[in-house]
Protein backbone atom coordinates (compact mmCIF):
# COMPACT_ATOMS: atom_id res chain seq x y z
CA UNK A 1 0.00 0.00 0.00
CA UNK A 2 1.38 3.38 -0.98
CA UNK A 3 0.55 7.02 -0.41
CA UNK A 4 0.91 9.91 -2.87
CA UNK A 5 0.58 13.39 -1.38
CA UNK A 6 0.88 16.80 -3.01
CA UNK A 7 -0.23 20.35 -2.16
CA UNK A 8 -3.95 20.96 -2.69
CA UNK A 9 -3.15 23.79 -5.13
CA UNK A 10 -0.09 24.56 -7.23
CA UNK A 11 -0.28 27.96 -8.94
CA UNK A 12 2.37 28.45 -11.61
CA UNK A 13 3.34 30.87 -14.34
CA UNK A 14 4.52 34.44 -14.50
CA UNK A 15 2.43 36.53 -12.10
CA UNK A 16 1.22 33.47 -10.13
CA UNK A 17 2.17 35.36 -6.97
CA UNK A 18 -1.05 37.32 -7.39
CA UNK A 19 -3.00 34.28 -6.20
CA UNK A 20 -2.07 35.34 -2.66
CA UNK A 21 -4.92 37.83 -2.97
CA UNK A 22 -7.37 34.92 -2.92
CA UNK A 23 -6.21 33.24 0.29
CA UNK A 24 -8.96 33.30 2.90
CA UNK A 25 -7.94 34.18 6.43
CA UNK A 26 -7.46 36.92 9.00
CA UNK A 27 -3.74 36.91 9.76
CA UNK A 28 -0.65 35.78 7.90
CA UNK A 29 2.99 35.51 8.91
CA UNK A 30 5.51 35.78 6.11
CA UNK A 31 8.72 33.82 6.76
CA UNK A 32 11.63 35.05 4.67
CA UNK A 33 15.44 34.88 4.44
CA UNK A 34 18.25 37.34 4.37
CA UNK A 35 17.15 40.10 2.06
CA UNK A 36 17.11 39.30 -1.68
CA UNK A 37 13.31 38.98 -1.68
CA UNK A 38 13.13 42.37 0.02
CA UNK A 39 15.80 43.92 -2.21
CA UNK A 40 14.02 42.90 -5.43
CA UNK A 41 10.63 44.12 -4.11
CA UNK A 42 8.94 40.71 -3.88
CA UNK A 43 8.41 40.97 -0.13
CA UNK A 44 6.48 44.24 -0.55
CA UNK A 45 4.39 42.69 -3.31
CA UNK A 46 3.60 39.68 -1.12
CA UNK A 47 2.54 41.76 1.92
CA UNK A 48 0.53 43.96 -0.41
CA UNK A 49 -1.38 41.01 -1.91
CA UNK A 50 -2.03 39.54 1.56
CA UNK A 51 -3.33 42.97 2.64
CA UNK A 52 -5.66 42.94 -0.36
CA UNK A 53 -6.86 39.53 0.85
CA UNK A 54 -7.93 41.32 4.03
CA UNK A 55 -5.20 39.84 6.21
CA UNK A 56 -3.04 41.41 8.89
CA UNK A 57 0.58 40.58 8.16
CA UNK A 58 3.58 40.01 10.39
CA UNK A 59 7.08 39.29 9.09
CA UNK A 60 9.58 36.75 10.39
CA UNK A 61 12.75 37.89 8.66
CA UNK A 62 16.40 36.89 8.45
CA UNK A 63 16.06 33.12 8.46
CA UNK A 64 19.67 32.04 7.86
CA UNK A 65 20.87 29.52 5.25
CA UNK A 66 20.80 26.08 6.95
CA UNK A 67 18.30 27.29 9.58
CA UNK A 68 18.90 26.38 13.24
CA UNK A 69 16.64 24.87 15.88
CA UNK A 70 16.81 28.25 17.68
CA UNK A 71 15.53 30.11 14.61
CA UNK A 72 12.67 27.63 14.37
CA UNK A 73 11.72 28.09 18.05
CA UNK A 74 12.00 31.89 17.81
CA UNK A 75 9.65 31.87 14.79
CA UNK A 76 7.16 29.58 16.52
CA UNK A 77 7.14 31.96 19.51
CA UNK A 78 6.26 34.89 17.23
CA UNK A 79 3.51 32.81 15.64
CA UNK A 80 2.03 31.89 19.04
CA UNK A 81 1.97 35.56 20.01
CA UNK A 82 0.44 36.73 16.70
CA UNK A 83 -1.90 33.79 15.95
CA UNK A 84 -1.77 33.52 12.15
CA UNK A 85 -4.15 31.30 10.18
CA UNK A 86 -1.77 31.36 7.20
CA UNK A 87 1.97 30.75 7.18
CA UNK A 88 3.44 32.10 3.96
CA UNK A 89 7.09 31.22 3.37
CA UNK A 90 9.20 32.61 0.57
CA UNK A 91 12.78 32.17 -0.58
CA UNK A 92 15.32 29.45 -1.35
CA UNK A 93 14.96 26.20 0.56
CA UNK A 94 15.94 27.55 3.96
CA UNK A 95 13.10 29.93 4.96
CA UNK A 96 10.49 27.47 3.67
CA UNK A 97 12.11 24.57 5.55
CA UNK A 98 12.35 26.68 8.72
CA UNK A 99 8.70 27.75 8.40
CA UNK A 100 7.58 24.11 8.12
CA UNK A 101 9.23 23.29 11.46
CA UNK A 102 7.96 26.55 13.06
CA UNK A 103 4.46 25.47 12.02
CA UNK A 104 4.76 22.23 14.04
CA UNK A 105 5.97 24.07 17.18
CA UNK A 106 3.28 26.75 16.71
CA UNK A 107 0.47 24.20 16.61
CA UNK A 108 2.05 21.89 19.19
CA UNK A 109 4.19 23.83 21.70
CA UNK A 110 4.61 20.62 23.72
CA UNK A 111 6.39 18.79 20.88
CA UNK A 112 10.17 18.35 20.94
CA UNK A 113 12.74 18.58 18.16
CA UNK A 114 13.68 14.96 18.92
CA UNK A 115 10.05 13.90 18.25
CA UNK A 116 10.06 15.71 14.91
CA UNK A 117 13.33 14.05 13.88
CA UNK A 118 11.68 10.61 13.85
CA UNK A 119 10.52 9.99 10.27
CA UNK A 120 6.77 10.34 9.72
CA UNK A 121 6.11 11.11 13.38
CA UNK A 122 4.69 14.66 13.17
CA UNK A 123 1.58 15.58 15.15
CA UNK A 124 -1.53 16.60 13.18
CA UNK A 125 -1.26 20.13 11.80
CA UNK A 126 -3.80 22.61 10.34
CA UNK A 127 -5.87 23.16 13.51
CA UNK A 128 -4.43 26.68 13.63
CA UNK A 129 -2.93 27.51 10.24
CA UNK A 130 -2.46 26.46 6.66
CA UNK A 131 0.78 26.76 4.77
CA UNK A 132 1.76 28.44 1.48
CA UNK A 133 5.26 28.16 -0.01
CA UNK A 134 6.83 30.33 -2.70
CA UNK A 135 10.25 29.20 -4.00
CA UNK A 136 12.79 31.70 -5.31
CA UNK A 137 15.35 29.13 -6.47
CA UNK A 138 14.88 26.24 -8.88
CA UNK A 139 16.09 23.14 -7.06
CA UNK A 140 14.96 22.02 -3.63
CA UNK A 141 11.22 21.88 -4.48
CA UNK A 142 10.47 22.21 -0.79
CA UNK A 143 7.26 24.01 -1.85
CA UNK A 144 5.78 20.62 -2.76
CA UNK A 145 7.67 18.17 -0.54
CA UNK A 146 7.14 16.51 2.82
CA UNK A 147 10.68 17.44 3.92
CA UNK A 148 12.52 20.10 5.86
CA UNK A 149 16.20 20.26 6.82
CA UNK A 150 17.03 21.86 10.18
CA UNK A 151 20.52 22.11 11.67
CA UNK A 152 21.33 21.45 15.31
CA UNK A 153 24.50 23.56 15.62
CA UNK A 154 25.20 22.33 19.16
CA UNK A 155 25.68 18.86 17.68
CA UNK A 156 26.87 20.04 14.24
CA UNK A 157 24.29 17.82 12.54
CA UNK A 158 21.71 18.51 9.82
CA UNK A 159 18.41 16.77 10.53
CA UNK A 160 16.08 15.94 7.65
CA UNK A 161 12.50 16.12 8.96
CA UNK A 162 9.97 14.11 6.97
CA UNK A 163 6.20 13.88 7.20
CA UNK A 164 3.31 14.42 4.78
CA UNK A 165 1.79 16.76 7.42
CA UNK A 166 4.35 19.38 6.32
CA UNK A 167 3.58 19.07 2.62
CA UNK A 168 2.36 22.63 1.96
CA UNK A 169 -1.31 23.37 1.20
CA UNK A 170 -0.50 25.87 -1.51
CA UNK A 171 2.61 26.19 -3.69
CA UNK A 172 3.13 29.28 -5.82
CA UNK A 173 5.69 28.57 -8.53
CA UNK A 174 6.22 31.96 -10.12
CA UNK A 175 9.31 31.99 -12.39
CA UNK A 176 9.76 35.75 -12.01
CA UNK A 177 11.18 35.14 -8.52
CA UNK A 178 13.87 32.81 -9.87
CA UNK A 179 15.04 35.14 -12.64
CA UNK A 180 17.53 36.84 -10.34
CA UNK A 181 19.42 33.64 -9.41
CA UNK A 182 23.19 33.95 -9.93
CA UNK A 183 24.79 31.64 -12.50
CA UNK A 184 26.51 29.24 -10.10
CA UNK A 185 23.34 28.84 -8.04
CA UNK A 186 21.45 28.08 -11.27
CA UNK A 187 23.93 25.30 -12.08
CA UNK A 188 23.93 23.76 -8.60
CA UNK A 189 20.18 23.92 -8.01
CA UNK A 190 19.53 22.60 -11.53
CA UNK A 191 21.74 19.55 -10.96
CA UNK A 192 20.06 19.06 -7.56
CA UNK A 193 16.72 18.89 -9.39
CA UNK A 194 18.13 16.40 -11.92
CA UNK A 195 19.42 14.24 -9.06
CA UNK A 196 16.01 14.35 -7.34
CA UNK A 197 14.30 13.12 -10.50
CA UNK A 198 16.85 10.39 -11.30
CA UNK A 199 16.99 9.11 -7.70
CA UNK A 200 13.17 9.12 -7.49
CA UNK A 201 12.93 7.16 -10.76
CA UNK A 202 15.29 4.38 -9.61
CA UNK A 203 14.12 4.41 -5.96
CA UNK A 204 12.74 1.22 -4.44
CA UNK A 205 9.58 3.25 -3.70
CA UNK A 206 9.08 4.51 -7.26
CA UNK A 207 5.80 3.64 -8.92
CA UNK A 208 3.23 4.58 -11.55
CA UNK A 209 2.33 7.85 -9.81
CA UNK A 210 5.91 9.15 -9.50
CA UNK A 211 7.53 7.75 -12.68
CA UNK A 212 5.92 10.14 -15.18
CA UNK A 213 6.77 13.17 -13.03
CA UNK A 214 10.39 12.05 -12.71
CA UNK A 215 10.83 11.32 -16.43
CA UNK A 216 9.26 14.63 -17.48
CA UNK A 217 11.46 16.51 -15.00
CA UNK A 218 14.60 14.76 -16.36
CA UNK A 219 13.64 15.60 -19.95
CA UNK A 220 13.05 19.24 -19.05
CA UNK A 221 16.29 19.63 -17.07
CA UNK A 222 18.35 18.07 -19.88
CA UNK A 223 16.68 20.40 -22.38
CA UNK A 224 16.73 23.66 -20.45
CA UNK A 225 19.51 23.66 -17.85
CA UNK A 226 22.45 24.67 -20.09
CA UNK A 227 20.59 27.64 -21.60
CA UNK A 228 19.10 28.57 -18.21
CA UNK A 229 22.68 28.67 -16.90
CA UNK A 230 23.57 31.05 -19.71
CA UNK A 231 20.69 33.31 -18.65
CA UNK A 232 17.89 32.46 -21.10
CA UNK A 233 14.66 33.57 -19.40
CA UNK A 234 12.34 31.03 -20.99
CA UNK A 235 14.73 28.26 -19.93
CA UNK A 236 14.84 29.67 -16.39
CA UNK A 237 11.04 29.48 -16.35
CA UNK A 238 11.00 25.87 -17.59
CA UNK A 239 13.62 24.92 -14.98
CA UNK A 240 11.41 26.40 -12.27
CA UNK A 241 8.64 24.01 -13.31
CA UNK A 242 10.99 21.05 -13.89
CA UNK A 243 12.39 21.24 -10.35
CA UNK A 244 8.83 21.31 -9.01
CA UNK A 245 7.88 18.17 -10.98
CA UNK A 246 11.02 16.48 -9.65
CA UNK A 247 9.93 17.48 -6.14
CA UNK A 248 6.49 15.96 -6.64
CA UNK A 249 8.22 12.70 -7.62
CA UNK A 250 10.82 12.50 -4.85
CA UNK A 251 8.51 13.67 -2.06
CA UNK A 252 6.62 10.45 -2.69
CA UNK A 253 9.28 8.05 -4.03
CA UNK A 254 12.12 9.34 -1.81
CA UNK A 255 15.78 9.52 -2.86
CA UNK A 256 19.00 7.46 -2.82
CA UNK A 257 22.67 7.46 -1.88
CA UNK A 258 23.70 10.47 -3.99
CA UNK A 259 21.79 12.46 -1.39
CA UNK A 260 23.12 10.35 1.50
CA UNK A 261 26.65 11.22 0.39
CA UNK A 262 25.88 14.90 -0.25
CA UNK A 263 24.22 15.24 3.18
CA UNK A 264 27.18 13.78 5.01
CA UNK A 265 30.01 15.43 3.04
CA UNK A 266 28.58 18.93 2.50
CA UNK A 267 29.85 20.41 5.76
CA UNK A 268 32.37 17.70 6.71
CA UNK A 269 35.60 19.21 5.38
CA UNK A 270 37.51 22.22 6.70
CA UNK A 271 39.17 22.45 3.29
CA UNK A 272 35.89 23.23 1.53
CA UNK A 273 32.12 23.45 2.07
CA UNK A 274 30.49 21.62 -0.82
CA UNK A 275 27.16 23.21 -1.85
CA UNK A 276 24.36 20.62 -1.87
CA UNK A 277 23.64 20.65 -5.60
CA UNK A 278 27.32 20.66 -6.48
CA UNK A 279 27.96 17.60 -4.30
CA UNK A 280 25.03 15.79 -5.93
CA UNK A 281 26.30 16.65 -9.40
CA UNK A 282 29.78 15.31 -8.65
CA UNK A 283 28.50 12.04 -7.11
CA UNK A 284 25.67 11.28 -9.54
CA UNK A 285 27.65 9.56 -12.37
CA UNK A 286 29.63 7.42 -9.88
CA UNK A 287 26.49 6.35 -8.02
CA UNK A 288 24.75 5.44 -11.28
CA UNK A 289 27.67 3.13 -12.11
CA UNK A 290 27.45 1.56 -8.64
CA UNK A 291 23.67 1.15 -8.82
CA UNK A 292 23.73 -0.16 -12.39
CA UNK A 293 24.35 -3.69 -11.07
CA UNK A 294 20.74 -3.80 -9.90
CA UNK A 295 19.05 -0.87 -11.68
CA UNK A 296 20.51 -0.72 -15.22
CA UNK A 297 17.07 -1.31 -16.72
CA UNK A 298 15.71 1.81 -14.99
CA UNK A 299 18.69 3.97 -16.01
CA UNK A 300 18.26 2.67 -19.55
CA UNK A 301 14.62 3.91 -19.47
CA UNK A 302 15.92 7.34 -18.51
CA UNK A 303 18.55 7.29 -21.27
CA UNK A 304 15.98 6.35 -23.92
CA UNK A 305 13.58 9.03 -22.64
CA UNK A 306 16.18 11.69 -23.39
CA UNK A 307 16.98 10.38 -26.86
CA UNK A 308 20.08 8.27 -26.19
CA UNK A 309 20.34 5.06 -28.20
CA UNK A 310 22.48 2.09 -27.30
CA UNK A 311 23.00 -1.65 -27.72
CA UNK A 312 21.75 -2.76 -24.27
CA UNK A 313 20.88 -1.51 -20.78
CA UNK A 314 24.51 -1.29 -19.68
CA UNK A 315 25.53 0.61 -22.81
CA UNK A 316 22.64 3.06 -22.32
CA UNK A 317 23.54 3.53 -18.64
CA UNK A 318 27.18 4.17 -19.54
CA UNK A 319 26.15 6.80 -22.10
CA UNK A 320 23.82 8.44 -19.56
CA UNK A 321 26.76 8.78 -17.15
CA UNK A 322 28.93 10.31 -19.85
CA UNK A 323 26.21 12.83 -20.72
CA UNK A 324 25.81 13.86 -17.06
CA UNK A 325 29.58 14.36 -16.77
CA UNK A 326 29.49 16.50 -19.92
CA UNK A 327 26.72 18.64 -18.40
CA UNK A 328 28.80 19.08 -15.24
CA UNK A 329 31.75 20.26 -17.32
CA UNK A 330 29.54 22.72 -19.23
CA UNK A 331 28.11 24.06 -15.96
CA UNK A 332 31.51 24.62 -14.37
CA UNK A 333 31.10 21.77 -11.87
CA UNK A 334 34.32 19.85 -11.10
CA UNK A 335 34.46 16.11 -11.93
CA UNK A 336 35.90 14.97 -8.57
CA UNK A 337 36.22 16.01 -4.93
CA UNK A 338 39.95 16.49 -5.51
CA UNK A 339 39.25 18.92 -8.34
CA UNK A 340 36.71 20.67 -6.09
CA UNK A 341 39.58 21.39 -3.72
CA UNK A 342 39.12 19.01 -0.78
CA UNK A 343 42.61 18.17 0.48
CA UNK A 344 43.66 14.54 0.31
CA UNK A 345 44.95 14.29 3.89
CA UNK A 346 41.66 15.56 5.29
CA UNK A 347 39.64 13.33 2.96
CA UNK A 348 41.56 10.22 4.05
CA UNK A 349 41.39 11.12 7.74
CA UNK A 350 37.61 11.53 7.69
CA UNK A 351 36.69 8.87 5.11
CA UNK A 352 35.61 6.01 7.38
CA UNK A 353 33.41 8.19 9.62
CA UNK A 354 31.79 9.91 6.63
CA UNK A 355 31.16 6.58 4.90
CA UNK A 356 29.47 5.15 8.00
CA UNK A 357 27.36 8.32 8.38
CA UNK A 358 26.35 8.23 4.71
CA UNK A 359 25.23 4.59 4.97
CA UNK A 360 23.13 5.59 8.00
CA UNK A 361 21.49 8.54 6.21
CA UNK A 362 17.70 8.48 5.81
CA UNK A 363 18.05 8.44 1.99
CA UNK A 364 20.00 5.17 1.88
CA UNK A 365 16.94 2.98 2.55
CA UNK A 366 15.29 3.66 -0.82
CA UNK A 367 18.47 3.32 -2.92
CA UNK A 368 18.07 0.54 -5.51
CA UNK A 369 21.28 -1.26 -4.45
CA UNK A 370 22.20 -1.94 -0.81
CA UNK A 371 25.60 -0.64 0.26
CA UNK A 372 27.97 -1.53 3.11
CA UNK A 373 30.22 0.98 4.89
CA UNK A 374 33.32 -0.47 3.18
CA UNK A 375 31.68 -0.23 -0.27
CA UNK A 376 30.70 3.35 0.59
CA UNK A 377 34.35 4.11 1.38
CA UNK A 378 35.37 2.72 -2.01
CA UNK A 379 32.64 4.72 -3.76
CA UNK A 380 33.68 7.95 -2.04
CA UNK A 381 37.29 7.25 -3.12
CA UNK A 382 36.10 6.94 -6.73
CA UNK A 383 34.38 10.33 -6.34
CA UNK A 384 37.55 11.81 -4.87
CA UNK A 385 40.08 10.46 -7.38
CA UNK A 386 37.84 10.01 -10.41
CA UNK A 387 38.60 6.28 -10.59
CA UNK A 388 36.42 3.62 -12.20
CA UNK A 389 33.55 2.14 -10.15
CA UNK A 390 34.15 -1.59 -10.68
CA UNK A 391 32.63 -3.30 -7.66
FE1 LIG B 1 18.53 17.74 -3.01
pLDDT tens, position by position, 339-375: 999 999 999 999 999 999 999 998 999 999 999 999 9
The alpha carbon of 247 and the centre of ligand 1 are apart by a number of angstroms equal to 9
Q: How many CA atoms lie within 13 A of 316 on its CB side?
A: 19
Nearest Cα to 37, choosing from 78, 100, 88, 101? 88
**pLDDT (mean) for 115-122:** 91
Band (pLDDT 50/70/90 cuts) for residue 20 is very high
Kindly give the pairing relationship between strand 130-135 and strand 157-162.
Answer: unpaired
On the 0-12 / 13-18 / 19+ scale of CB atoms within 10 A, 388 is exposed
| 280 CA from centroid of ligand 1 (Å) | 7
Q: What is the mean pLDDT of residues 17-41?
A: 94
Quick check: 219 pLDDT over 80?
Answer: yes
Q: How far is the CA of 53 from the centre of ligand 1 (A)?
A: 34
CA dist., res. 299 & res. 317, Å (int):
6
199, 362 Cβ separation under 8 angstroms: no
CA–CA distance, 374 with 12 (Å, rounded to integer):
45
The answer to whether 316 and 303 are in contact (CB under 8 A) is yes
d(CA 385, CA 61): 42
Name the pLDDT band for 289 (thresholds 50, 70, 90): very high
Contact 163, 180 (CB under 8 A): no
Q: Is the pTM of this model over 0.85?
A: yes
How many whole angstroms from 51 Cα to the centroid of ligand 1?
A: 34
Cα(22) to ligand 1 centroid in Å equals 31
- Ligand 1 center–CA 49 separation, angstroms: 31
Give the Å distance between the CA of 196 and the centre of ligand 1.
Answer: 6
Q: How far is the CA of 221 from the centre of ligand 1 (A)?
A: 14
Query: What is the DSSP-derived secondary structure letter of residue 64?
Result: P
Span from the CA of 335 to the centroid of ligand 1 (angstroms): 18
Output the CA 274–ligand 1 centroid distance in Å: 13
pLDDT of residue 174: 97
**Given this model, what pLDDT does residue 1 score?**
82
Q: What is the pLDDT of residue 391?
A: 93
Q: Which residues surround ligand 1, an ion (CB under 5 A)?
A: 192
Query: Please, which pLDDT band fits residue 159 given cuts at 50, 70 and 90?
Result: confident
Give the pLDDT of residue 259. 96
Asked whether the beta carbons of 355 and 376 are under 8 A apart, the reply is yes
Average pLDDT, the chain: 96
d(CA 17, CA 177): 9
Q: What is residue 134's DSSP assignment?
A: E
The pLDDT, as a whole number, for residue 111 is 94
Check if the beta carbon of residue 58 is closer than 8 Å to that of residue 50: no
Contact 319, 306 (CB under 8 A): no
Residue 309, number of CB atoms within 10 A of its CB: 9
Given this model, what pLDDT does residue 335 score?
A: 98
Strand blocks (E) in the chain:
9-12, 27-32, 56-60, 86-91, 130-135, 147-152, 157-162, 170-173
Section 51-61 average pLDDT:
97
- Measure the CA–CA gap between 22 and 52, rounded to whole angstroms: 9
How many of the other CB atoms lie within 10 Å of CB of 318? 20
- Asked whether the predicted pLDDT for residue 255 surpasses 90, the reply is yes
Residue 151 pLDDT level (bands cut at 50, 70, 90): confident
- pLDDT classification of 160: cutoffs 50, 70, 90: confident
Mean pLDDT of 245-256: 97
For residue 333, report the phi and psi dihedrals to the nearest 5 degrees.
-100, 130
pLDDT at residue 75 tops 90 = yes
The per-residue pLDDT for 154 is: 82
Residue 99 has pLDDT above 80, yes or no: yes
DSSP class of 122 = P
C-alpha dihedral (114, 119, 120, 122), degrees to nearest 10: 10
In the predicted model, is pLDDT for residue 152 greater than 90? no
What confidence tens digit (pLDDT) does each residue in 168-197 have?
999 999 999 999 899 999 999 999 999 999
pLDDT of residue 378: 98
Calculate how far, in angstroms, residue 111's C-alpha sits from the geometric centre of ligand 1: 27
> What is the band of 155 on the pLDDT scale with cuts at 50, 70, 90?
confident
Structure confidence at residue 153 as a pLDDT band (50, 70, 90):
confident
* pLDDT given at position 281: 98
CA of 317 to the centre of ligand 1 (A): 22
Amino acid sequence: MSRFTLPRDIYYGKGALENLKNLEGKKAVVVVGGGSMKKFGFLDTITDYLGQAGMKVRLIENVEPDPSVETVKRGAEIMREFGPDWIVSVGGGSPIDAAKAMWAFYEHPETTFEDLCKPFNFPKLRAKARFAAIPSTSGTATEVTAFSVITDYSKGIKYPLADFEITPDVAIVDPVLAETMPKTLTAHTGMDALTHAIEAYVSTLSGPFTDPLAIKAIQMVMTYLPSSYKGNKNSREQMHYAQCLAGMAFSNALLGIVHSMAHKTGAAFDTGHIPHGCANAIYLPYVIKFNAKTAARRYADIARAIGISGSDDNDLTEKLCRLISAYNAELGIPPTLAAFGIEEAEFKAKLSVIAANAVGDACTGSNPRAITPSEMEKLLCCCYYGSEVDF
